[in-house]
Structure 1
């Protein structure tokens, strides 16, 4: 098992390194000179303070930062602009909220991510748990859209939504009502939609940089497969009734729900895969001086593997993936029966873990997956039971 974990971690490390690549882009220095170059795409979660680039794809790596760079971007993907702005650094943590309504502004020089660029432009800044939105118009320089949660004595949490007044005053179409403004939340989707609609309203061309970022966050995949499972039952009281059913080939069918996580180029995702599985076994225990004993195992359950999945792209249509997580098992109509002794034990399974390695091409996928040992008579202290399996799974993405 340690070897499997080591190989998984090693593969993730290698793939992470190989995928952080230089892509076509540009830099604009403080003298307004544009340099076409290759930018190292780190899929920044927090706004960067510097960026690595190469003038030629195989040239030496250089660094552009806030001291010498006005703007940079990756073609058809993302753009950042240098700005000297007042930022509200008030805490958004409920346990450390300020008692003041007014924003706690501090002048700082940062790279702002451009979300929408036009007659009215929208920008984004994130640093750790701090998320702020900024805007500008053709007649107004970049400033923060003000939103702040604060505590008002013992009256609870209040919200300073001054950004709605800023939009009403500076970014508003004639037909936009105050009620529409009031419904806007301090969230990317609401603000992007508002700035997009405003630029269309004033008949000005604009660029929505978020369109290139949009990916299908959820996917649904049918996952049939075959499994080689082993089951053994050992009594802690006597070895006369111990039985090993050996390896059996079974079938399974599942439905995997996958949700992409919004960082690291969507390489990471969360998965959950309700799966029907069935194991059936029969053995005869033969001991000296004892009559043969028939033992039957009938094990049906709904397994629910859940955990993290890591993908790394080979080309535009195919990629490899690794997964790891826990397995919740819900048995039904499942028993261990000692026929000659009229003993019947109901299977109540414990949880286990799973790791897998697979490949996907377009909608089709295949995977080898290992399920660790689980105790299938977890309600009894008299038994030591083990059930594990290796699965080969095919997949077809339907959504």
Structure 2
């Protein structure tokens, strides 16, 4: 079992380094030299500090360029980053770490900023984990941009009933009023603009159109992403069960492995970064295991008897996990899952009677959470085949004198409705 788990983890880890996608682009170095190349598109969630590139599509070896040597880089029809020296406020939005100061706390940093709107007024974004900031400059794209100020803070000076109230510094609205002065943008427009990319982008594009009637928006034409997938799943499991009674070893039972049916569905949410390689999955699944086994138990210290131990185990499993994709070509991809399983047994028990007909034991089944490792193949985003290893599950949680090992190795076929 341990070796099998190690195998899955090794495959998952190695595969993370195997997927390479280089796309046409360019970068400009500190000497203003432009190099056309092929850049590894990581579909960065957080703004990068470096990137990999090749000088030709057929080159095997890649090079790494860093923020110290590159002032701009772009991937055609995907993204563009510019290097700037900026003052950035990294104040936290989590209450535990929230500042009591209304004013931003700036630090000077060298960052790659992502271009959102290009024109007379330029809008940039910066993201780092849960931190999101927007920057702008007017008339000169080479001028270091200014941060649009938005900050949540704790007001601990309130003398009334409530203390430590969360307040918001929305100074970015005044910055927009002061700098984006145009007849097509009203005070109400800015007042209703939230600190979000889509809404800020609209304001900046309106300003650029006001200043230049021939203005064309800087836009990235990305393929439409299906953020949700829903699939039906049908599979077979090689299932086994071993139960042990610590005070009375003669009650121990090792049920033979058998094939069982699994029926379920899957809901998948594609995470909108890193080229659709990551997703969250939920896989409600009905499973059952019904078996019997003859054992010889001690009736007294000198007398042994035979009886049959029955197991009738039905449950709804709720695996909740994360999936990683490795794209082989336009139609095929591999995927790897890691899930935590919440199991909900339904009228399930393990029981046995003595030879004379009285009850030997009757145990209701109650499960502890377990885990699952899966690897599979997806064809044409329509058909899936997945091999899943479920780690050993304890199913007699309400009976501390019993130890159980319920094991599953499942092969599941899925059909995606999209």
SS of residue in 1 equivalent to 2:400: coil
Note the alpha carbon deviations across 1:155-188, whole angstroms, 9 max, x for none: 3332111212233344476455544433332223
Return the TM-score normalized by structure 1.
0.87
TM-score (normalizing by structure 2): 0.83
**Which digits, 9 at most, give the CA deviation of each residue in 1:25-53, with x for residues without a partner?**
11234565432112233443433334443
Matched residues in 1 for 2:25 and 2:231: separation?
35
Asked if 1 retains the 8 angstrom alpha-carbon contact of 2:266 and 2:281, the reply is yes
Equivalent position to 1:254, from 256, 264, 272: 264
Q: How does 1:200-279 map to 2 (within 5 A)?
A: 204-209=215-220, 211-212=221-222, 215-279=225-289
Q: Runs of 5+ in structure 2 lacking a partner? A: 159-164
Shift of 1:363: 1.4
**Deviation of residue 137 (structure 1)?**
4.2
TM alignment of 1:1-399, pairs within 5 A? 1-30=1-30, 32-57=32-57, 58=59, 61-66=62-67, 68-127=69-128, 129-138=130-139, 142-155=145-158, 156-171=165-180, 174=183, 176-195=185-204, 204-209=215-220, 211-212=221-222, 215-285=225-295, 292-339=306-353, 340-342=357-359, 343-361=361-379, 362-399=381-418
Deviation at 1:232, TM superposition (A): 2.6
* Distance of aligned partners of 1:296 and 1:158 in 2 relative to their CA distance in 1, 3 Å threshold: same
Instruction: Determine the C-alpha separation between the residues in 2 that align with 1:43 and 1:207.
Output: 18
Q: Secondary structure at the match of 1:212?
A: coil
Secondary structure class of the residue paired with 1:207: coil
Question: More deviation in 265-274 or 344-353?
Answer: 265-274
**Residues 1:177 and 1:11: Cα distance change in structure 2 (over 3 Å):** same
Name the count of aligned residue pairs: 398
Deviation of the 1:106 alpha carbon: 4.2
Choose 88-97 or 299-308, whichever is displaced more. Answer: 88-97
What's the secondary structure of 1:227's corresponding residue?
Answer: strand
1-structure distance, mates of 2:305, 2:68: 87
Change (3 A) 1:149 1:117: same
For the 8 Å contact 1:227–1:390, the answer to whether it is kept is: yes
> What CA distance in whole angstroms lies between the structure 2 residues aligned with 1:38 and 1:359?
28
1:308 is displaced (CA, Å) by 2.4
Q: Is the 8 A contact 1:119 1:204 kept in 2?
A: no
Deviations 1:87-122, CA, capped at 9 Å, x for gaps: 334444534444433333344443211123345432
Unpaired stretches in structure 1, ≥5 consecutive residues: none
| Greater CA drift, 198-207 or 112-121 | 198-207
Task: Give distance in 1, aligned partners of 2:55 and 2:339.
Answer: 43
CA distance in 2, matches of 1:68, 1:37: 16
Contact 2:88 2:107 in 1 (8 A): yes
Say if 1:326 and 1:93 are closer, same or farther in 2 by CA, change over 3 A.
closer
Distance 1:79 1:295 in 2: 67
> For residues 309 and 274 of structure 2, what CA distance do their matches in structure 1 show?
51
What is the RMSD of the two structures over their aligned residues, measured on CA atoms? Answer: 3.0
What do the CA deviations read for 1:273-303 (whole angstroms, capped 9, x no partner)?
A: 1111111113333569655423322111111
Please state how far the C-alpha of 1:234 moved relative to its aligned partner: 2.7
- Residue deviations 1:217-242, cap 9 Å, x none? 33222222111211233333334433
Report the CA distance between 1:138 and its aligned residue.
4.2
Report the Cα offset of residue 200 of structure 1.
6.5
In the alignment, the residues of structure 2 paired with residue 280 and residue 172 of structure 1 have an alpha-carbon distance, to the nearest angstrom, of 74
Contact map agreement 2:263 2:286 (CA 8 A) in 1? yes
Please report how far the alpha carbon of residue 61 of structure 1 lies from its aligned counterpart in structure 2 after TM superposition: 4.7
User: CA 1:238 to 1:109, structure 2 compared with 1: closer, same or farther past 3 Å?
Assistant: closer
